[in-house]
Amino acid sequence: MSNSFAIDICEEHVVDASFLWLYRDQGVRSPNYTAQDVAEVDERIEAHLDGLRIAGEVGWQAAEENLQWEEPGEVFTGTALAFAIGKKRLIDKVMEIGAGSVDLARGAISGIAWIKDRDIWPFIRSFIQSQEPMVQRIGIGACGTLRTDMGDVLNQFLKNDNPIVCSRALKAAGELGRVDLLDDCLAYLNDKDEENKYWAAWSAALLGDLASTETLKSIALQGGKRAEYACDMAGRNMNLKDAQEWLQELGGQPENLRLAIILGNAIGMPVLISWLINMMTIPTMARKAGEAFTNITGADLVEMELAGDEPEGFEAGPTEDPQDEFVEMDADEDLPWPDVNRIAQWWAAHKNSYDPHQRYLLGQPITNEALEGILTYGKQTHRYAAALELGLLAPGHPLVSIRARTI
């Protein structure tokens, strides 16, 4: 095999592995992906990485050249390859690029977490001990992602003045089930940094605190990238009486109908189904309400022929009109459109099978046994909900990771 041909092959491996990582990054958050779907992507990624490892120096050269694009996918590929090779020079190179931004750091963290080798831990420890905040974040993120406790050093990071470091440490406290750090998390519930505040409240909830719910509610109402996640966690952590009162409040505010549906989905009680069916008649709310219906009842809209067509004239996300300044992507593009009439008929025939005031996930009362089953067969969004519910049921245990490498 000529050297130029080998370089071309390695270039393809790098491009494909980097693209597949981006594909996977979307897939692990998708309502359409199962763990088996993620495993299939993981096998393809590993095949490309294996090709690069076998190619030796030529493989690394191809990965290094693609780092110049400074994209998370290329950082993932370069990081996974550098750690597999185990040479400090190569690891220093990918860390230099990966420490360029929070987004690039995600690729670096994922690349480290891909490696199943104890030899990586000296490097992770060195990142944690670094003086560079973004490198520290990568080290903390690697431990959190791998669900490996870093001991007392995490306590120190929770007192770090840099939100880049502190916010990731706050998230890790919840991921690792560090109930000893609950008071440290509570100290950030009124922090001026929104990331610190959100991850403090998120982790505090997982660590058994109910008071953090008020912070999650305020984050939800303020809007922003964490609003819907905060609403979901608040709904799962609140007592049912308070949750229902908040749902009634949100449901009476047109600007907060989407949050109300998300909250109803988290509450998970069949008594809400009639209201959700009514929400399906509003085009902008229909798919999210349909998702909540499925999450509560377990009735898959596509498989049970309860899905319908997109309403005529409906537009969501950017259009092809160059004069249109609306550039937000359609948040519900992966969700099916509900057929309201069929769903109403299905519910009329099946509602007596459900306890209207029992909490359900995918048609099953929320119990440890049911949640464990959903982690095995559910779609990724269902698996994430099951992981959160298990964490809330048993504070002090590491949160089940639904994004971990599957092979």
The secondary structure of 28-89 as a DSSP string is: TT-TT-BHHHHHHHHHHHHHHHHHHHHHTHHHHHHHHHHGGG--HHHHHHHHHHHHHHT-HH
pTM of the entire structure? 0.95
Which tokens go with 88? 């400090």
Please, are residues 389 and 374 in contact by the beta-carbon 8 Å criterion?
Answer: no
pLDDT recorded at residue 316: 77
Q: What are phi and psi of 319, to 5 degrees?
A: -110, 180
Please, are residues 332 and 310 in contact by the beta-carbon 8 Å criterion?
Answer: no
Residue type, 363: G
Q: In terms of Cα–Cα distance, which of 23, 21, 72, 71 is closest to 49?
A: 21
Which tokens go with 61? 């050269």
Which tokens go with 405? 């490498």
Which tokens go with 17? 């592995």
Residue type, 154: L
pLDDT recorded at residue 326: 46
pLDDT recorded at residue 2: 54
DSSP designation for 334: T
Q: Give 364's strand partners.
A: 361
Distance of CA 69 to the CA centre of its chain: 25
pLDDT recorded at residue 4: 77
Which tokens go with 260? 């109300």
Q: How far apart are the two ends of the chain, measured CA to CA in Å?
A: 30
Q: In terms of Cα–Cα distance, which of 406, 384, 401 is closest to 142?
A: 401
pLDDT per residue rounded down to tens, the chain (407 residues): 557 778 899 999 999 999 999 999 999 999 999 999 999 999 999 999 999 999 999 999 999 999 999 999 999 999 999 999 999 999 999 999 999 999 999 999 999 999 988 789 999 999 999 999 999 999 999 999 999 999 999 999 999 999 999 999 999 999 999 999 999 999 999 999 999 999 999 999 999 999 899 999 999 999 999 999 999 999 999 999 999 999 999 999 999 999 999 999 999 999 999 999 999 999 999 999 999 999 999 999 999 999 999 999 898 765 455 555 544 679 999 999 999 999 999 999 999 999 999 999 999 999 999 999 999 999 999 999 999 999 999 999 999 999 999 99
What is the number of other CB atoms lying within 10 angstroms of the CB of residue 112? 28
* 132 vs 171: CA distance, rounded Å: 19
* 32 vs 46: CA distance, rounded Å: 22
Burial class, 231, CB count within 10 angstroms (exposed 0-12 / middle 13-18 / buried 19+): buried
Q: Where are the domains of the chain?
A: 1-116
Which tokens go with 273? 């189904």
Q: In terms of Cα–Cα distance, which of 377, 361, 381, 399 is closest to 36?
A: 377
Q: In terms of Cα–Cα distance, which of 247, 250, 228, 249 is closest to 238?
A: 247
Which tokens go with 256? 């907060």
* 397 vs 234: CA distance, rounded Å: 19
